[in-house]
Amino acid sequence: MLFQLVSLSVVFIGGILAEYKNYDGFKILEVNFQNPRVKKYVQEIDKNLGFMPDFLGENWKQKQAHYFIDKDSVEKVRTNLDSHNITYQMRDVNPQIFKVRKRRDLNGAVTINDVNNRYLSYDEQMQFLNSIAQQYPDDVKLQKIGNSYEGRSLTAVRIGDDGSSKPIVWIDAGVHAREWISYNVALYLVYTIVSQPAYRDLLNSVQLVVVPNTNPDGYEYSRTNDRMWRKTRSRFTNGRCAGADANRNYPFFWGTQGVSHSQCSEIYCGSRPQSEPEVMALTNAITREETRIKGYIALHSYGQEILYPWGHTMRTYPSDVQDLITVGKAMAAAIRAVNNTDYNVVNSGDGLYPAAGASDDWAKSRGIKYSYTIELSPIDDYTGFSLPEDRINQVCREAFQAVQVLMIEVRSKFGLRQTTSSAASAAAQSSLLLKRMRTSVSRGFGRGK
Ligand SMILES: *[C@@H]1O[C@H](CO)[C@@H](O)[C@H](O)[C@H]1NC(C)=O
Ligand SMILES: *[C@@H]1O[C@H](CO)[C@@H](O)[C@H](O)[C@H]1NC(C)=O
Ligand SMILES: [Zn+2]
């Protein structure tokens, strides 16, 4: 027994502290792509450099693309940029990002206060969901939709599922492991909509399904081994590298553009469509009730963008794209009303490069009308995937407003059993929200997915 305890603590220290991947010497490359010549260079950066650097995100306000450059490539990248007369910045990575937080003892209940103030382990996330399900047994049902590659449970939180066929808004979070804020946002949505009586009415006519952690293996790995881990943790036969990019693994134009077929790439699309058990579970669960799902949001970070399909190729839009833009702008306006944070509404494919096999494209292809990817805060690369914990709550409150707009829109378009007056007030509320939109849509670079 004593021996077991000792060896466990060695594993703990080994996993959490000693072997957390060292990124000394790595740099963040920032390229300002306002100039068309530079934009063209950036769009072909893989050809120019001879490899595809890890794309982190973009700052659409400053028209900057951000890449993570490994220490052995820094000189080569500098030389290449210089020879193309590209101005750029090579920044040091914020060391705070790689500071390992001490795990809190799992001795107390995980509360909304924890969700608002710190990043949680997968076990803590599940503990929080279990306590919400116990506290609100009529409103919240936890549904297991499958297992991750390493056998962790994939859980859908069904809110307001009363057995009726009312329309559904479906939210996925955290398919990219390092995008930590997305998990807290999903848990916050679950808590807020069931705990606030103000949303009762909305839940009576629209069901919300939230999958707060669509990649638990990758997430735990990003907490214990490698802060920048993005992919799943699948092991492939003869594989040199683990994991696939689950957001390139959906069965719609799979493997065509903006992906890599090499296993070690950050955007490896997997060995075939749905090769990832996480993607198989999600596509099965959604397909089972796809005729009722009218809204879909995949939560990612970072970049403050609301992206709409199609993303698998450029300058190609669904026939109802104007509806997607209108509701996207209403979501952005609702976010801005919280504390003036700007989100850009932009097409997924018109960015630096299209990316096929993403979940929002697939959801749209299944007939889910309002399908989006939201890149949450921040917009800057210095904190990037490690949004400081004291900013978690604001991002949660902003995202909640966006989800509420989508639910109201779905209610007014697809709600059942409405009395004339509630239908009229839903429609009025919806058009009020749409009137609040201010920004016009700009063609930015929508590709952080
Ligand atoms: C870079 O700029 C120099 C000096 O202005 C010029 O001679 C050279 O042709 C430029 N190279 C490219 C690739 O634009
Ligand atoms: C609103 O944003 C400002 C600056 O962008 C920030 O300093 C402030 O803390 C935010 N307020 C809240 C309530 O989050
Ligand atoms: Zn992402």
Rounded to whole angstroms, how far apart are CA atoms 300 and 375? Answer: 5
| Contact by Cβ (8 Å): 354, 247 | no
Q: How far is CA 318 from CA 281, 312, 313, 325, 352, in A?
A: 26, 12, 12, 11, 20
Rounded to whole angstroms, how far apart are CA atoms 324 and 374? Answer: 13
Ligand nearest to the CA of 374: 3
* Residue that is written with structure tokens 């060292």 in the block: 22
How far apart, in Å, do the first and last CA atoms of the chain sit?
46
- The ligand 1 atom at the shortest distance from the C-alpha of residue 85 is 1
Mean pLDDT throughout 102-107? 60
Asked whether the CA dihedral 429, 431, 436, 440 is positive or negative, the reply is positive
Higher pLDDT, 110 or 438: 110
Q: Which of 179, 220, 276, 375 is catalytic?
A: 375
CA 158 to chain centre: 19
| Contact by Cβ (8 Å): 190, 159 | yes
> For residue range 264-317, what is the model confidence (pLDDT) as tens digits?
999 999 999 999 999 999 999 999 999 999 999 999 999 999 999 999 999 999
**Whole-model pTM?**
0.90
Q: Which of 37, 48, 85 to mutate to test the pocket of ligand 1 (most atoms within 8 A of CB)?
A: 85
Distance 175 CA to ligand 3 centre (A): 7
pLDDT of 404 > 70? The answer is yes
Closest residue by Cα to atom 2, ligand 2, is 339
Closest residue by Cα to atom 3, ligand 2, is 339
| Contact by Cβ (8 Å): 145, 156 | yes
409 is catalytic: no
**pLDDT given for residue 427 in this prediction:** 54
Asked whether the CA dihedral 134, 137, 139, 140 is positive or negative, the reply is positive
* Confidence class for position 238, pLDDT limits 50, 70, 90: confident
| Contact by Cβ (8 Å): 332, 244 | no
Q: Which residues contact 222 (CB under 8 A, 6 or more apart)?
A: 177, 178, 180, 228, 229
Give, for 154, the enclosing helix (H) or strand (E).
Answer: strand 153-159
* Confidence class for position 417, pLDDT limits 50, 70, 90: low
With a 6 Å cutoff on the Cβ, whether 40 touches ligand 1 is: no
Rounded to whole angstroms, how far apart are CA atoms 52 and 46? Answer: 4
Asked whether the CA dihedral 115, 118, 119, 123 is positive or negative, the reply is negative
Higher pLDDT, 208 or 17: 208
Distance 24 CA to ligand 3 centre (A): 24
Rounded to whole angstroms, how far apart are CA atoms 359 and 244? Answer: 14
The mean pLDDT of the chain is: 89
Ligand nearest to the CA of 355: 3
